[in-house]
């Protein structure tokens, strides 16, 4: 029998689901992943609201001038549809963000969370449901969430980023990446295209900001 989750289109988060099913993330990893995912999606929602504010006002003003109830409802709902669409789009990428790729346990826990809560998570973000993680992850109350977040706080080891203008060719097709910039470049490209990464082994240098080895 084919499960419901296997029928979903496999985005970047979905690539980790099969692994997460066999390597169960710890409860602390699940709680920490939920805290970070909801925080990132909440920030995205706020940014999206700001960018759509003018559009929302225009649609609301237009709705007040229209007599047809169905058209009026459509104009008012368009704003909320746009917000949910932005959240759902980010859900396909959030597990590849720097905050969640620092450890394998967090990556797996994030993938499992997205797969299990694909319908509930957008609603929770839109409703600012502070108790979502407690419901999604057994035992993930506010105190446990803080402890889990501390336990999984780490910095990626990285050389200092190249100075502006020294990190890419003139056409922008080739870039020199370091630990703190590779995620933004490679995974952002993965959403709409392809990236070829060539590894270069040079002399070791001290990490930026004193970050520890992973």
At 165, is the pLDDT very low, low, confident or very high (cuts 50, 70, 90)? Answer: low
C-alpha dist (Å) from residue 28 to 15, 38, 39, 89, 148: 22, 15, 17, 26, 5
- Nearest C-alpha neighbor of 23 from the set 111, 88, 141, 102: 111
pLDDT in tens, 3-47: 444 444 444 444 444 444 444 678 899 999 999 999 999 999 999
Do residues 180 and 208 touch, judged by C-beta distance below 8 A?
A: yes
Q: Is 156 helix (H, G, I), strand (E, B) or coil?
A: coil
Instruction: Kindly report the number of other CB atoms within 10 A of residue 132's CB atom.
Output: 21
On whether the pTM is more than 0.75, the answer is: no
Residues in the chain: 214
């Amino acid at each position: 029998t084919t499960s419901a989750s296997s029928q979903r289109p496999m985005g970047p988060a979905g690539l980790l689901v099969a692994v997460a099913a066999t390597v169960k993330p710890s409860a602390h990893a699940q709680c920490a992943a939920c805290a970070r995912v909801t925080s990132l999606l909440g920030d995205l929602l706020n940014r999206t609201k700001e960018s759509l504010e003018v559009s929302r006002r225009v649609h609301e003003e237009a709705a007040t001038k229209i007599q047809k109830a169905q058209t009026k409802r459509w104009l008012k709902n368009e704003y909320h549809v746009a917000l949910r669409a932005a959240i759902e789009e980010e859900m396909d990428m959030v597990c590849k963000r720097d905050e969640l790729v620092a450890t394998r346990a967090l990556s797996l826990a994030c993938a499992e969370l997205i797969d299990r809560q694909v319908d509930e998570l957008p609603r929770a973000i839109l409703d600012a449901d502070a108790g979502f993680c407690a419901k999604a992850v057994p035992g993930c109350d506010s105190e446990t969430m803080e402890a889990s977040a501390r336990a999984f706080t780490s910095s990626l080891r990285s050389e200092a980023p190249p100075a502006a203008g020294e990190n890419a060719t003139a056409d922008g097709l080739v870039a020199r990446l370091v630990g703190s910039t590779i995620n933004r470049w490679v995974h952002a490209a993965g959403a709409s295209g392809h990236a070829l990464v060539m590894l270069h082994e040079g002399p070791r240098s001290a990490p930026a900001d004193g970050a520890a080895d992973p």
